[in-house]
Amino acid sequence: MIRRAHPADVPAMVELVHELADYERAPDECVLTTEQLHTALFGQAPALFGHVADSAAGVAGLALWFRNFSTWEGVHGIYLEDLYVRPQQRGAGLGGALLRELAQECVRHGYARLEWSVLNWNRPAIDFYEAAGAVALDEWTGYRLSGPALTAFAA
């Protein structure tokens, strides 16, 4: 079952995010805490939204997302920050159900698009996304300003 995340889900969601970081070969880069995720999802001004996939074993997957905005189309969209299903729960359709729920969220609210990034070596995820009808934005290159470079540029 796919549903909106509840405050009681936050500890399991943090665990899943850390599992995702491990899968993406960057476990030391993930410092997310339960308190941080709780505030982002359920604080006074939530900027992050979440859905979870429930199974008999508990929370088996998650989708964490936020609204973006297309200045060209004049409407919001969804940026999917994290989509993850525990390895032992894969193959049951939970990832597809989470992605479909976000597509339905877009349609319900008149959002123009659903976007995300995927590591170029993650062939299983790429195949999954392409099977859903997603297309790679090969003409766009993502950039990030963070850490000391962000601080230096801000000065």
Report the SS3 class of residue 76.
Answer: strand
**CA 48, chain centre distance (Å):** 10
CB atoms under 10 Å from CB of 100, counted, come to 13
Sign of CA dihedral 85, 99, 51, 71: positive
The active-site residue out of 23, 84, 111, 129 is 129
Q: What are 50's strand-pairing partners?
A: 64
The whole-angstrom separation of Cα 26 and Cα 122 is 14
Q: Which two tokens stand for residue 29?
A: 């880069």
Sign of CA dihedral 31, 124, 142, 83: negative
**CA 39, chain centre distance (Å):** 17
Does 111 participate in catalysis according to the annotation?
no
Q: Which residues are catalytic?
A: 129
